[in-house]
């Protein structure tokens, strides 16, 4: 089984990845491919650079490149992929017949508080910056950019994550048998 995750910043996708990892799934992220490329080009992995790096990789190698790279890595093993941010990545992953896309959602205020608390390198440090950064990811003018709204529309399932980790785990335990 191949599970993909999409959703807005700090919705809880990483926690969902950990839940699947604890059940034996391999893990990967489209963003990891970008981070590797940024590192190879001596570029700091800020949120802005991740967005621009993803655009550049998609321009150079096609809009589904990040997902295609992960498909090669996982083969036919059970895996979960985080940070799916374009419809073309979804289409590339659907080539594997057992692919399921889950959208992870949470209210904006909850997501901002989570982002502020985790303080990942490159994350915005103000609420205004958080909102501005998110707005850049919602709709793309071309296939090289992020398009979270269109990607989320392709989700097979949605998991709401406004509560704590235990509440999220219960939702995932309820969903897992159906996927």
Residue 47 sits at the vertex; the CA angle it makes with 42 and 49, to the nearest 5 degrees, is: 35
CATH number of the domain residue 91 falls in: 3.40.50.300
Residue 71 within a domain: yes
Instruction: Give dist(CA 139, CA 147) in Å, integer.
Output: 4
| Domain housing 163 | 2-172
Q: What is the DSSP letter of 126?
A: S
Give the per-residue pLDDT at 78.
97
**pLDDT tens sequence across 132-166:** 888 878 898 777 677 899 999 999 999 999 999 99
**Percent of the chain topping pLDDT 70:** 99
Residue 80 within a domain: yes
Residue 120 within a domain: yes
Instruction: Give dist(CA 78, CA 58) in Å, integer.
Output: 25
**pLDDT tens sequence across 24-60:** 999 998 888 888 899 999 999 987 898 899 889 989 9
Give how many domains the chain has, as a whole number: 1
- Mean pLDDT computed over every residue of the chain: 92
């Amino acid at each position: 089984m191949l599970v993909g995750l999409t959703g807005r910043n700090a919705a809880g996708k990483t926690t969902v990845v950990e839940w699947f990892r604890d059940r034996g799934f391999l893990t990967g992220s489209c963003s990891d491919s970008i981070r590797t490329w940024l590192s190879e080009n001596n570029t700091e992995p800020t949120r802005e650079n991740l967005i621009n790096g993803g655009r550049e990789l998609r321009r150079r190698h096609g809009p589904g490149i990040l997902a295609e790279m992960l498909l090669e890595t996982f083969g036919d093993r059970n895996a979960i992929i985080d940070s799916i941010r374009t419809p073309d990545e979804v289409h590339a992953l659907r080539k594997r017949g057992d692919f399921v896309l889950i959208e992870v959602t949470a209210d904006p205020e909850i997501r901002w508080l989570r982002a502020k608390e985790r303080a990942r390198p490159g994350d915005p440090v103000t609420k205004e910056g958080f909102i501005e950064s998110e707005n850049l990811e919602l709709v793309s003018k071309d296939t090289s950019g992020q398009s979270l709204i269109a990607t989320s529309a392709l989700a097979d399932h949605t998991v709401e994550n406004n509560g704590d980790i235990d509440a999220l785990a219960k939702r995932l335990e309820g969903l897992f048998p159906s996927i």
